[in-house]
């Protein structure tokens, strides 16, 4: 069930109506759980059994870990949780990839191939797996007391606004909100009426729809035409396609996150920000503080730090960065192009760390605090960020290599680029508007919050403007969100 579909609008309207009509707080939480499972079943049918398995596994294992005083037993239980969750994720996401790699070797050796299983990837499995794992690990570390209510924990795992593509929510953020509502004696409806975030939530939902349906889907047509067969294109065309894809995936994914966060706010829940003007990052580290924040902080807390982080030797720190981003790339998809993307970002982080260690006086020079220095830092950082988007978008090795070469080594040919600009005038205009929108967001800080504080008539006109822009420029088919495939 897509956020930008009529089915979701009807579904969400029914959820809100039911919560408003039936104010009993216990019923509301139980109803939200049932609605979340219905949402998942509607999206992925029988594969809801995997979601239930992860929920049951981590609920009971976390309780046993908390009750146990035997450190070895606690570790064994944690390993069972990790193996159970990652085993499911690995089977459904990487089995066919592993078979295809084995077959490549078998063909080279003249051996028979193993048939692919053609396994369907369950929607959202990468996200809810990391979510339940973080819960069990936090309980094991003693940072979180496990939930005593299975219903409460199940709603945390299955909460439908962020179930399919994040943000990855921590239990210590979500569970206290459920308990506060229970202890206050007020149902969700009463909380909503008193909550100033209602208008903010609606604003986020509309901005998310605009990012997806007006910006990302339109820009995506330009990207598809350029990268459908990139070999033979000029450098400027490759750069145009790369920049367009960078904003397409940003509009698509941040749009989903905005809708998820906004829908949660309308229901009375706060889930964490997932994007913060990433294309104004001034370093690779800064980029990952702004892009897919819930994943980058998860990788930091549950992978990078356990590996030793930067507490061991410098060479080990660089290796840890490469390992984390390699696995981060593999998390995105079972394909070598995602591994290349991850290793590129790992290299950026390692090189930035090397330069910071070797030349601290240069990297912290006051020049980089000036306007010119800031612009230079942003430009250099984004040059490499957009370079890494090429392997993310182009999976074919030959096409990927060609596109990267053209991106780096300019040929200054413009004829085919002019053809694209002429045939995609509206989409190029929409891309430019999106860049301006991103700049305004950067300058104004929390733009959605500012808009939500407008007078009601201006706010309503803004929402109507979004609806009209989608109606007039909608490409005519509802595209899946890009991160649904991960």
Q: Which residues are known catalytic residues? A: 332
Rounded CA gap, 42 and 357, in Å? 51
139: its two tokens: 């309980």
The closest alpha carbon to 387, from 374, 405, 370, belongs to 405
d(CA 402, CA 405): 5
- Return the CA Rg of the chain: 24
Q: What is the C-alpha separation between 63 and 448, in angstroms, rounded?
A: 40
187 contacts: CB under 8 Å, gap ≥ 6: 19, 23, 24, 25, 28, 181
3-class state of residue 114 by DSSP = coil
Cα distance between residue 112 and residue 266, in whole Å = 56
Q: Contact, 226 vs 238, CB < 8 A? A: yes
Spatial contact of 291 and 275, defined as CB atoms under 8 Å apart:
yes
Pair of tokens at residue 218? 């339109």
Are residues 257 and 208 in contact, defined by beta-carbon separation less than 8 angstroms? yes
């Amino acid at each position: 069930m897509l956020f930008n579909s009529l089915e979701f609008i009807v579904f969400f309207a029914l959820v809100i109506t039911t919560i408003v009509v039936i104010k009993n707080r216990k019923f509301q939480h139980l109803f939200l759980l049932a609605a979340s499972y219905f949402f998942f079943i509607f999206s992925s049918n029988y594969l809801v059994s995997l979601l239930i398995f992860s929920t049951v596994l981590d609920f009971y294992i976390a309780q046993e870990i908390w009750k146990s005083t035997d450190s070895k037993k606690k570790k064994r239980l944690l390993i069972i949780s990790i193996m159970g969750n990652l085993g499911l994720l690995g089977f459904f996401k990487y089995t066919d990839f592993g078979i295809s790699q084995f077959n490549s070797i078998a063909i080279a050796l003249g051996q028979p191939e193993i048939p692919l299983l053609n396994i369907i990837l369950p929607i959202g499995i990468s996200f809810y797996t990391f979510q339940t794992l973080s819960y069990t690990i936090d309980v094991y570390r003693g940072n979180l007391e496990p939930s005593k209510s299975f219903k409460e924990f199940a709603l945390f795992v299955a909460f439908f606004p962020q179930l399919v593509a994040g943000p990855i929510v921590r239990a210590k953020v979500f569970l206290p909100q459920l308990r506060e509502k229970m202890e206050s004696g007020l149902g969700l409806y009463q909380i909503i009426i008193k909550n100033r975030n209602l208008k903010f939530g609606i604003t986020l939902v509309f901005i998310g729809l605009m990012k997806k349906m007006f910006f990302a889907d339109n820009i995506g047509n330009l990207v598809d035409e350029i990268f459908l067969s990139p070999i033979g294109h000029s450098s400027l065309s490759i750069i145009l396609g790369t920049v367009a894809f960078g904003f397409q995936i940003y509009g698509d994914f941040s749009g989903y996150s905005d809708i998820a966060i906004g829908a949660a706010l309308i229901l009375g829940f706060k889930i964490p920000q997932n994007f913060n003007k990433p294309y104004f990052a001034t370093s690779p580290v800064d980029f990952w503080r702004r892009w897919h924040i819930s994943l980058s902080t998860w990788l930091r807390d549950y992978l990078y730090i356990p590996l030793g982080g930067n507490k061991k030797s410098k060479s080990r720190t660089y290796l840890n960065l490469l390992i984390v981003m390699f696995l981060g790339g593999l998390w995105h998809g079972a394909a070598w192009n995602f591994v290349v993307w991850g290793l590129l970002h790992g290299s950026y982080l390692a090189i930035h760390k090397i330069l910071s260690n070797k030349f601290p006086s240069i990297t912290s020079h006051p020049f980089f605090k000036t306007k010119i220095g800031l612009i230079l830092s942003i430009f250099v950082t984004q040059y490499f960020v957009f370079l890494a988007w090429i392997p993310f978008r182009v999976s074919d090795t030959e096409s990927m290599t060609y596109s990267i070469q053209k991106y780096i080594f300019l040929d200054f040919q413009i004829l085919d680029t002019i053809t694209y600009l002429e045939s995609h005038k509206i989409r190029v205009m929409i891309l430019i508007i999106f860049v301006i929108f991103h700049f305004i967001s950067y300058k104004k800080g929390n733009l959605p919050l500012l808009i939500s504080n407008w007078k009601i008539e201006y706010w309503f006109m803004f929402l109507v403007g979004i609806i009209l822009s989608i109606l007039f420029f909608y490409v005519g088919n509802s595209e899946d969100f890009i991160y649904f495939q991960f």
